């Protein structure tokens, strides 16, 4: 549930930024392009934080199975 509630706005922001970037892709809009790139980067950062948060939540709830197995280091 939380995943959907957070991912939907981030996806909407990214889609909107992509459209803005597509329609302002000329030399006159270099400043806009820089802002678009910054927004894209921050949305990616937020998505990464969200993924980490959701992974941690799953671990804490015991929803992730751990299957330790021996392996060779060399």
- The rounded distance, in Å, linking the Cα atoms of 40 and 22 is 13
Number of domains in the chain: 1
The answer to whether residue 70 is domain-embedded is no
pTM beyond 0.85, yes or no: no
The answer to whether residue 32 is domain-embedded is yes
Predicted confidence pLDDT, tens digits, the chain (74 residues): 567 788 899 999 999 999 988 888 666 678 888 899 999 999 999 999 988 888 888 888 888 787 889 989 98
- The rounded distance, in Å, linking the Cα atoms of 52 and 42 is 15
The answer to whether residue 71 is domain-embedded is no
Find tokens 């549930």 and name the residue. 1
Domain span holding position 24: 2-61
The pLDDT value recorded for residue 28 is: 65
């Amino acid at each position: 549930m939380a995943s959907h509630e957070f991912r939907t706005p981030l996806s909407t922001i990214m889609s909107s930024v992509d459209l803005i970037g597509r329609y302002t892709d000329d030399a006159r809009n270099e400043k806009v392009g820089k802002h678009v790139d910054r927004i894209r980067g921050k949305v990616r950062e937020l998505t990464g934080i969200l993924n980490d948060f959701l992974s941690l939540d799953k671990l804490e709830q015991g929803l992730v199975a751990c299957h330790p197995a021996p392996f060779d280091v060399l």
